[in-house]
């Protein structure tokens, strides 16, 4: 087992030890941390909840498994110098993505945010402060985290924020999903990701391509971090390879009725 896989396993065990097991009991979603189980290469993974169960809360993690369509998303809690390059590569391939941003990103990088919007990408809500939202139990406090980011987006772009929400760190609860739904949000998890977030231990090009290529599947909602140097390095090659395999790229809006 590779070192990064060992670290991911240890992280999962630590999360479990804290009592954050992601399970469905009697149709009710318990507090959990989004995780995936891949049956075999090329097949869609199973998550803590099915597509049908998530749909009750206007939430998704996977598109149509019969369609060779991919949905590209980026999370960014801060700017690490790679977003402009990522935007240029997306332009080259005519691929539109969702950027889930935190409050300080909009405050510190308004020009990049405007560039995302001008180039036809979608900005989503990753909350104002990137808290563990499962610890917020009342609608008023939950609303402040989402509506605070809406206000920043309005100030930066003059537009209303599209109502797509990604829970920070993938930690969620049934109550959170219900509150997001009440606020008009669609919650977006993912079906494909890899360990790209640690800037002190960035994966190699070879490791990243192997992980992403071996696990790509029809309808994949892909999570990459815009802070990753490796992602900026491989993105052009990765999009080229996926297109050569017959995949096209859809908009996250298409996953919701």
Instruction: Look up tokens 């993912």; give the residue.
Output: 190
Q: How far is CA 172 from CA 42, 86, 128, 131, in A?
A: 27, 28, 16, 11
Of 20, 86, 99, 54, the closest CA to residue 191 belongs to 54
Beta-carbon neighbour count of residue 181 at 10 Å? Answer: 16
SS3 204: coil
* Catalytic positions: 75, 225
Q: What burial letters (b/e) apply to 221-230, b meaning 16+ CB within 10 Å?
A: bbbbbbbbeb
How many beta carbons lie within 10 A of that of residue 161, not counting itself?
A: 22
Please name the residues in contact with 153: beta carbons below 8 A apart, sequence gap of 6 or more: 106, 113, 123, 159, 160, 161
């Amino acid at each position: 087992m590779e070192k990064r896989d060992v670290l991911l396993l240890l992280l999962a065990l630590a999360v479990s030890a804290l009592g954050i097991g992601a399970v469905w009991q009697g149709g009710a979603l318990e507090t959990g941390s989004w995780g995936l189980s891949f049956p075999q290469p090329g097949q869609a993974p199973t998550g803590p909840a099915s597509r049908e169960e998530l749909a009750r809360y206007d939430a998704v993690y996977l598109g149509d498994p019969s369609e060779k369509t991919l949905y590209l998303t980026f999370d960014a809690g801060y700017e690490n110098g790679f977003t402009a390059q990522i935007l240029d590569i997306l332009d080259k391939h005519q691929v539109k993505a969702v950027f889930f941003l935190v409050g300080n990103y909009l405050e510190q990088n308004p020009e990049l945010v405007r560039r995302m919007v001008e180039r036809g990408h979608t900005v989503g809500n990753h909350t104002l402060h990137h808290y563990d939202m499962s610890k917020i139990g009342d609608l008023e406090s939950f609303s402040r985290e989402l509506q605070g980011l809406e206000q920043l987006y309005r100030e930066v772009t003059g537009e209303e924020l599209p109502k797509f929400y990604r829970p920070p760190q993938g930690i969620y609860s049934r109550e959170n999903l219900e509150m997001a739904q009440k606020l008009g949000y669609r919650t977006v998890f993912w079906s494909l990701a890899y360990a790209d977030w640690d800037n002190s231990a960035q994966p190699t090009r070879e490791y990243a391509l192997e992980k992403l290529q071996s696990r790509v599947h029809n309808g994949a909602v892909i999570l990459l971090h815009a802070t990753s140097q490796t992602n900026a390095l491989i993105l052009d090659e990765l999009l080229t390879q996926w297109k050569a395999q017959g995949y096209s790229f859809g908009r996250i809006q298409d996953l919701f009725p």
